[in-house]
Every structure is written in structure tokens, then in C-alpha cells.
Amino acid sequence: MKIEERRWLMSQLGKLKEKLSFLKGWLLKFLKGWPSLIMLYLGVAVTASILCWLYIKPSNTSERKDIIQTIAQVWGALALAITFYFSWRNLKLTQETTNETLKNTQVNLRLSQEEQITNLLTKAIEQLGSNSLAIRLGGVYGLERIARDSERDHWPIMEILTAYIREHSPWETDGPGVSQVTSNSATQDFTDGIPPFPKLSGERDQKQFLPPNLPPLPKDIQAILTVLGRRNLNFEKGRNQRLDLTQTNLRQAQLSETSFKRANLWGAHLERAQLICADFEEASFTGAHLEEAICSNANLKGASFSWARLNDTQLNIAHLEGADLSNAIGLTQEQIQDSFTDDETKLPNNPNFAQKAS
């Protein structure tokens, strides 16, 4: 190639470079978002085509044919690359659109579920106020279903149910022979040893004889106790939550194989209640009445029985490890001779408890 031709070729390449640079800026401006790789392929293809034509300068038909085939292959490769890019781009956009749609669907579904739960919760609470027992029971089991499906609503529902028991089955303290409890006593801390109930002397004074036939527990109250006893405990792990059943009338309640771990039963009346194989670990029975209750094989580890009445309470093979029975009323050694105790179990230290051993 002559020197003049090379100079001419270099000048043409310089002009082409300027035009390609302008074209590149224009494309980036109006086709913003295209990857630079596509632009690079386009520039390479155009440059290669021009160079092939100008540098080789075909002189016959065969050479022209070869150059055209080469240029066609270059542009074919470019077209294939562009096709792959747009296919990938469309797939990516489709995935992004699908993910966005799925996200919006999940948000709408969650909002719809929350709205549905709110409506069901409102309806169930309204049913609790019905005069019909069947409707009240429907409300109780409706709340149970919501509590099982919604961790967020689990504990508020437990509080609603325990409040219902405290309101509809309270222990009336005005009857004869019943300890009087002031409203201030409910919040009193008895760790200082001050009893919430009068400390009685003499076994006959301590023991309150129950009538042969106690009134049955209302069916809605029993249903709520059953629901509370089989609640999902996994929703309460690591949380300082205690069922509040203070000063309630739970006489003859059926609580066998239920879980009331750490429940607050201060001043509750559980005479002749069935607590067989129940879990009342670390529960508070302070001032409670458990006369003639059956607590066989119950888990009472770490429970507090301060000033609780345990006359004729069945505690055979009950777990009393770490339980505080030091101020329990009416307890005898015979009652706990088959129970499980340990060094941390606090037993009564009074003459009545020792006399029963002889």
C-alpha cells in the first residue's frame, strides 16, 4: 500500500471515529439504559466493515464476495448478540414484573387477612356478650381459632378470655366463713411474709367443710378454661406473660392435662377441681382454695402456695420440686408422702403439720 493511501486511510478513520463518537453520545442520550456492550459491538461491526472495504479494496468479484461474506458474518454476530441481549432483558423485566406483582399480591393478601381477622375478632367478642349459651360458646371457639392462626393476636385474646372469667365468674367474698379480701390486697406483695388472709389457729378453724353438692361451673367458663389450657405455648416463649385468674370461682373446674404454667391464681377457688396431670409450674396459688382438689401427677414445680388452703387436697405423685408450701393451710405429711420433693421444696413448719406425721 502506498504512503498516500495509508494517510488517506488514517484520515478517514479519524473522521469515522469522530462520527462514531457523536453517534455514541446521541444514542446514549436518546436510548439511555442500553448497555455499553451493545454499543461496543455496533462500533466494532461498523468499523470492521469499513476497514474491510477500504483496506482490502477488492479488485474483482471474488474478493468483493469474500468481503461481503465477512461483513455479513460480523453483522450476523452483532444481530445475534443484540437478540440475546433483548431476550435476556425481556426475561429480566418479566422476572422483575412477576416479583413486583407477587410482592403486591402478598401485601394485599396480608392486608386482606388482617382485615378478615379483625372482623372475625370483633364478631367473636360480640358473641361473648350474647344471652345465648350456644352463641357465647361459638365466640369462645372463634377466638381460639384466631389465637392459633395469629401470633400477634394470641396474647390479647388470652387476656380477653381471662377478663371474661374474672367478670362472669368472680368469687364473692361476702359469704359466711369466707376470708375478707380488700381491693388493695390484690396488688400487695406478700414476699415479706404478711398473709393476705387471716391466719387461723386450730384444725377445725382452718378447715372449711364443703357442701356435698357444689353448683356446677358454667359451661362457657369451663369452655374458656379448656381453651386457655390448650393454647399455643410457642407464642409465649421468652415473654413475661401470665394468665390472670385472680379471685375467680373455678370450683369443680376440669383442668386435667391442661397447661397453666406461671398462671396467677391468687385468691382463686378451686375446690374439688380436677388438676390431674396438669402443668401449673411456677403458678401462684397464694391465698387460693384447693380443698378436695385432685392434683395427682400434676406439675407444681416452683409453685407458690402461701396461705393456700390444701385441706384434703390429693397430691399423690405430684411434682412439688421447688414449691413453696411453708405457709400452706391444712396440709399434712400424709398428703405429700407420695409426692416428688427436693431440697428446694419449702414445707410447713407448724405443729399441725408435724402432728399428722405421728
Q: What is the pLDDT of residues 45-68, one digit of tens each?
A: 666 666 665 655 666 677 666 666
The C-alpha R_g of the chain, in whole angstroms, comes to 42
Alpha carbons within 13 angstroms on the beta-carbon side of residue 50 total: 14
Name the grid cell of 323. Answer: 414449691
pLDDT value of residue 312: 94
Distance in angstroms (rounded) separating the CA atoms of residues 106 and 275: 44
pLDDT of 237 reads: 78
pTM above 0.85? no
User: CA 331 to CA 83: how far, in whole Å?
Assistant: 89
How far apart, in whole angstroms, are the C-alpha atoms of residue 68 and residue 53?
9
Weakest mean pLDDT among 14-18, 191-195, 284-288: 191-195
pLDDT for residue 176: 36
Q: Residues in the chain, how many? A: 358
81-137, pLDDT tens digit by residue? Answer: 777 777 877 788 888 888 888 888 888 887 777 888 888 889 999 999 999 999 999
pLDDT at 170 over 90: yes
Mean pLDDT, range 16-22, rounded to an integer: 68
Query: Which one has a higher pLDDT value, 293 or 110?
Result: 293
Cβ atoms of 315 and 294 within 8 Å: the answer is no
As a whole number of angstroms, the distance between CA 223 and CA 258 comes to: 12
User: What's at 328, amino acid-wise?
Assistant: A
CA 51 to chain CA centroid, nearest Å:
70
Beta bridge partners of 346: 324
CA distances from 135 to 124, 126, 228, 285 (A): 9, 9, 19, 32
At residue 259, φ and ψ (nearest 5 deg) are: -125, 115
Residues forming a β-bridge with 314: 294
Nearest C-alpha neighbor of 245 from the set 223, 214, 269: 269
Q: Which residue has the higher pLDDT, 330 or 57?
A: 330
Q: Tell me the C-alpha to C-alpha distance, in Å, between residue 50 and each of 59, 71, 85.
A: 16, 9, 25
